[in-house]
Copies of this chain bind each other. A is one copy, B any other.
Amino acid sequence: MDILLRYVVKSFDRSTKVIDFHYPNELLQEYNWELADQPQNLEEILTHCQTTLKYAIKTGHPRYFNQLSTGLDMVGLAADWLTSTANTNMFTYEIAPVFVLLEYVTLKKMREIVGWPGGSGDGIFSPGGAISNMYAMLIARYKMFPEVKEKGMAAVPRLIAFTSEHSHFSLKKGAAALGIGTDSVILVKCDERGKMIPSDLERRIVEVKQKGFVPFLVSATAGTTVYGAFDPLLAVSDICKKYKIWMHVDAAWGGGLLMSQKHKWKLSGVERANSVTWNPHKMMGVPLQCSALLVREEGLMQSCNQMHASYLFQQDKHYDLSYDTGDKALQCGRHVDVFKLWLMWRAKGTTGFEAHIDKCLELAEYLYNIIKNRDGYEMVFDGKPQHTNVCFWYVPPSLRALEDNEERMRRLSKVAPVIKARMMEYGTTMVSYQPLGDKVNFFRMVISNPAATHQDIDFLIEEIERLGQDL
C-alpha cells in the first residue's frame, strides 16, 4: 500500500522523471524476472513491486503527453481498486448486481448526452475503442443481413465500409477479422485539417453501388488520432440517410467534448448516428480501460451476438432476466469497467468533467499560440486546434535556411525521433511523433491530464529546443 501511494505522490512531482529508460535487453538482465518452482517470501514480493514501479512510465506525470490516455485520477484509482477487490464478471445480474445496474445507469446517461431521446438505445463497455468499433461493424452488418450470423459472408453480397484516410486503423483491423477484408474498407479523402470530405464520400458510395457492391457502414471520426479532427457529422449523416447506410461515429477520442457546453458543437450531428464509440479512458481521464459502444436501436446487440448458452443464461431464474446482459457481448467473461467512470462522475459531476475538458483544450490553445509564430516551429496544419492535438515540426537552426526540397525533408524526418529518444533517456517528458501521408515525422502533442499547467507546456517547448538545437 505504502509502495503504491508513494508512487502516486511521485507521479505528480515534477522533479521526478517521467521514465527511467532502459533498453529491453538491459532491463531483462537488470533483474531476475524469471518464474520458478519455489515460492518467494513477502519481502521479495514487495521488492518486485518496487522494481516494477521503478521502471514503469509515470503516466500520471503532468509532463507525460505521449498518448491519448494520461493522468491519474484518485477517485478513479480508488474505484478501480474496489473493482479488483470485488473481482467479478459482468455477464449476469446474479454475480454482479450493482455493477450491472451502474452500467445501465451510466450508458443511459451517455446516450442522453449523445442526444438520443430519453437516453434510449443500447450499449456495452468493451475492452477498448478498437473492439467497440468492431462491434459497430458487426452490428451494422447484422442489421442489414441478419442471415450472416448463421450463413457467414458467403451468403451476402460484397459489403463495403467507408471511413476517412485519417481514421483509426481499427476499422481495417475489424474488417479483416470479420471476414469483410481490408480491401472493402474505402478510405475517403480528408481536407487539409484532416476532416472527411463529404463530397468524396458520396462519390465513392455511388462508385461502389455502380459496381454492384453494398455500402453498409460509414464510420465518421470525432477526434482523429493524429490531427484531432472532427468529421462533418451533419453532412455525413445526410449522405448515410440518403443511401440508407449505418452511420457510426468513432468518438473514442472526441466523445469527451460532449461534456463541455463550449466545445460540444464540434460533434453536432452525432445524435443522428446509429452507433457511437466513446472512450472515457481518454479525454475524461478514467483509468484504463473504459470504452463504451452506444447503439441507437435496442435489442440489436442481443440478437446479433446471443448464443443462449443455457449454463450461463438460465431462463428459469427468479429475477428479471433483461439484466443478464452477457449475451450481448462477444466476450463471455467481461471485466467491470464501469465503476471507475461512475464513481468519478459522482465525485466530479458533469460540471467537473466539463472543467477538466475545457482546461485541457485551453492548454492546447496556449501551446498553439506560443509556437505558431515562434522561430523554428512549423505547424502541420493551419488554424486553431479543434481538440487538444497540436501537430508541429521543430526545425533545428541548421535546417532553417535550407530550401524546401527532398533533402530538407529527409533531414527533418530525423529530427523528432532523435529528440524523442533523448527525452526518454533524460526522462524529462514524453511526446509522440509520427509521419502521416506525405508529411515526414512531426510531433503530435496531446493533453488529457488536467494536472498539466502552462508551465508544463513552457517546459516542453524549452526541452524540445534544448534537445534539438544541435541537430
Contacts and interface: CB of A to CB of B under 8 A. Distances in A.
Given A40-B347, A176-B149, A335 B288 contact: yes
A442 to B, nearest CB: 10
A436 interface: yes
A332 interface: yes
A178 interface: yes
Contacts of A98: 27, 51-52, 55-56
Contact of A287 (B1, B84, B134, B184): B84
A369 interface: no
A370 interface: no
A356 to B, nearest CB: 11
A383 to B, nearest CB: 20
B89 A84 contact: no
A318 interface: yes
B101 A138 contact: no
A435 B313 CA distance: 11
Given A24-B101, A45-B343, A128-B333, A351 B85 contact: no
Interface string A330-344: 111111000100110
A428 B435 CA distance: 60
How many copies of the shown chain assemble into the complex? 2
Interface string A1-26: 10110011000000000000111110
A365 B144 CA distance: 51
A177 interface: yes
Contact of A24 (B1, B7, B323, B350): B323
A412 B200 CA distance: 64
Listed residue (A78, A332, A345) with the most chain B CB atoms within 10 angstroms of its CB: A332
Contacts of A44: 346
A117 interface: no
Interface string A149-167: 1111111001000000000
B319 A24 contact: yes
A59 B35 contact: no
A183 B332 contact: no
A323 to B, nearest CB: 5
A351 B127 CA distance: 33
B53 A82 contact: yes
Interface stretch (A187-195, A304-312, A374-382, A400-408): A304-312
Interface of A: 1, 3-4, 7-8, 21-25, 27-28, 33-40, 44-45, 48-49, 51-53, 55-57, 59-60, 66-67, 69, 72, 75, 77-82, 84-89, 93-102, 105-106, 109, 127-131, 134, 138, 148-155, 158, 168-170, 172-184, 225-226, 281, 287-289, 291, 304-305, 307-312, 314, 316-320, 323, 330-335, 339, 342-343, 345-352, 414, 417, 420-421, 424, 430, 432-436, 441, 444
Given A149-B176, A152-B181, A179-B179, 6 more contacts: A35-B346, A37-B349, A66-B95, A127-B334, A129-B333, A151-B181
